[in-house]
Amino acid sequence: MSIRHGLLALLERGPRYGSQLRTEFESRTGSTWPLNVGQVYTTLARLERDGLVAPDGEDAAGHTLYAITDTGRTELRQWYERPVDRANPPRDELSIKLAMAVGAPGVDIRAVIQSQRHATIKAMQDYTRLKATALAAVESGQSRERDDVAWLLVLEQLIFQTEAEARWLDHCEARLVRLSLPADRRAGEPEPPQAATAAETPAPTTTARPRPARTRRG
């Protein structure tokens, strides 16, 4: 998550101070990416250095307010329009763990996969329950509807992400089983169906309804 651009997006709605920005950021994202005040003010200092925000007086309680500049608005518009760069993907702890577990002495990699699968499925179930709550809040038309919609989108991304992770773990286990076969058997056997499905078939988002059988007329 780009904290820099996230703060600019909040400041586009009007001047804010540091603690207020932290609260609104966490509300919008459901505290999925918690911030501390120090991180917010450090980011604000860099934004001010780059001419993207500027101090804008104080509120009644003496908090220093920050406002987005025209340069900051241009930067924010470009961020919205620019696709997220996938050329340098972020480090993923699970991928690194499995990569290091392959061939590590005394490590049962299949046990590592099973343990992670259990945790992943539990997380998916937790996200699904939170989604139901967020969806109910949106449909009820509560006053914080914008934040609820934003949180709903974040939750759905997390659900899709955990579904993909579970399928990838299934693929890893199938791949390890295949690679553990003797070389002469492995050469003549097709790819395990589970691995092929996990690697190549997108997860369905809805359950297809069976079509009724067509009756041939005489």
- 149-185 pLDDT, tens per residue? 888 999 999 999 999 999 999 999 999 988 886 655 5
Asked if pLDDT for residue 201 goes beyond 80, the answer is: no
Number of neighbouring beta carbons within 10 Å of residue 54: 15
Give the containing element (helix H, strand E) for 40: helix 37-49
Q: What is the pLDDT of residue 216?
A: 45
Distance (Å, whole) CA 8 – CA 71: 11
Mean pLDDT of 184-199: 50
Average pLDDT over all residues of the chain: 83
**Percent of the chain clearing pLDDT 70 (strictly above):** 80
Q: Where are the alpha helices (DSSP H) in 82-212?
A: 93-101, 109-140, 145-179, 183-188, 193-200
Distance (Å, whole) CA 134 – CA 145: 10
Mean pLDDT of 65-76: 96
Q: What is the pLDDT of residue 144?
A: 63
Q: What is the pLDDT of residue 163?
A: 97
Nearest alpha-carbon partner for 47 in 66, 29, 63? 66
Nearest alpha-carbon partner for 32 in 166, 130, 155, 213? 155
Contact 6, 62 (CB under 8 A): no
Nearest alpha-carbon partner for 7 in 61, 42, 49, 44? 44
Angle at CA 32, nearest 5°, toward 22 and 110?
150
Distance (Å, whole) CA 213 – CA 7: 56
Strand partners, 53: 68
What pTM did the predictor assign?
Answer: 0.67
Position 206 confidence tier, pLDDT thresholds 50, 70, 90: very low
Contact 171, 194 (CB under 8 A): yes
**Residue reference for tokens 């250095």:** 49
Give the containing element (helix H, strand E) for 67: strand 64-68
**How far is CA 119 from each of CA 52, 102, 126, 162, 181, rounded to the nearest angstrom?**
41, 20, 11, 10, 28
Query: Residue 16: helix, strand or coil by DSSP?
Result: strand
Give the containing element (helix H, strand E) for 55: strand 53-58
